[in-house]
A and B are shown apart, each in its own frame.
Chain A
Amino acid sequence: MDEIDLHIIEKLTNDARLSFRKIAEELKISPDTVINRYRKLQKKGVVRGSTVVINPKKVGYHCMAAFLVDASSMHILGNETNPVDSSLILHKLISMPNIILATKTVGDHDLLAIGVARDFEHLIHMTSEISRIPGVKDIQVSFWVEKSSLCPKYFIV
């Protein structure tokens, strides 16, 4: 990455819809160069995607929470006992509606998910949905009361 890449990244972090033409004008390079640089950054995985940042409260979603999940060491299904694959839990988590981030973790818990809910009842419903995923042993919820504003450079919370 050089100065040009960093400039493109900075501009698009603040406004992902900024036209490549405008960025090119600022840098006094051709729009094609900007497009090629952006594609390269995507290909290298520096830029993982782009998104709109919505204020959940404005569309009726008043709760956000972190779900701290512990996996059991064995998963019993009928007479069969299988080792738990936490990757399966991870993919189940991220395919749930309103879970916007999920990751395996090392340390206090096995997996972590961040979710958006309409109200407390909805949050409880989500918690029980997660607890029903095969291999989930325990789940603890950290219900966010007040959160810092975040320029979502890496995450979209």
Chain B
Amino acid sequence: MTRGTQIDETDANILRALQRDARHNFADIARKCSVSTDTISKRFRKMKKAGIIRGTTILLNPKSFGYDCVASIGVDVSYPRLNEVVELIQTIPEIVFFATSIGREDIFCIAVLRNVGKLSQIKDLIKGHPLVRNVTTSIWVDEILLCPENFEFGHLRK
């Protein structure tokens, strides 16, 4: 298994600062790393070019946009025709993320919905597919804790 692209302590400091706040001032990061602001912006661009950084984004509260229900959906599929079910899932706009998986379920999805009624409709839709054996749903309770800064770069540790 590859160890991934090598990043040094300065790169890691940039990533750590931006994980907490993507708008973090480069001059401030530069001061903490004892390098020039120019170095920080160069490193940032370099990591973007290398694909280490996919981008920066703001995190929105779905409720503020009228989406009152967030849920995960687990789908069990009759093998080996997973792709046919994946195709169906891709057509559902409420499903903002999905992953084919090993373990508890075959496909794991996250859906952002107007209400629980919509979740029920989508559950029925997926369940209606002839290759789907079972669908389980879990509604996420209000208190969703996001902590992107928990993501450590363990291999950097000495």
Contacts and interface: CB of A to CB of B under 8 A. Distances in A.
Contacts of B146: 48-49, 100-101, 155-156
Interface of A: 1, 9, 12-17, 44-62, 64-66, 68, 87, 90-91, 94-109, 112, 116, 118-119, 122, 140-148, 150-157
B104 A104 contact: no
Given A54-B151, A105-B72, 4 more contacts: A49-B146, A103-B144, A142-B104, A147-B100
A55 B110 contact: no
Contact of B100 (A9, A14, A101, A145): A145
27 contacts: A13-B57, A49-B146, A50-B58, A52-B55, A52-B148, A53-B56, A55-B53, A66-B104, A94-B145, A98-B150, A100-B147, A101-B145, A101-B147, A102-B147, A103-B144, A104-B143, A118-B155, A119-B1, A140-B104, A142-B102, A142-B105, A145-B102, A151-B57, A154-B59, A154-B60, A154-B70, A156-B148
A71 B114 CA distance: 28
A58 B51 contact: yes
A47 B23 CA distance: 13
B117 interface: no
B80 interface: no
Looking at chain A's contact residues, the main secondary structure is mixed
A44 B64 contact: yes
Nearest to B5: A58
A148 B98 contact: yes
A150 B56 contact: no
Contacts of B151: 54, 56, 61, 98, 100, 116
Contacts of A118: 154-155
A14 B55 CA distance: 8
Interface in B1-30: 1-5, 7, 15, 18-23
For the complex of A and B, list the 5 residue pairs with the smallest distance between their C-beta atoms, beginning with the closest: A60-B4, A16-B22, A50-B22, A147-B99, A52-B18
A62 B60 contact: no
B125 interface: no
Interface in B120-158: 136-141, 143-155
A90 to B, nearest CB: 7
Contact of A59 (B7, B20, B55): B7
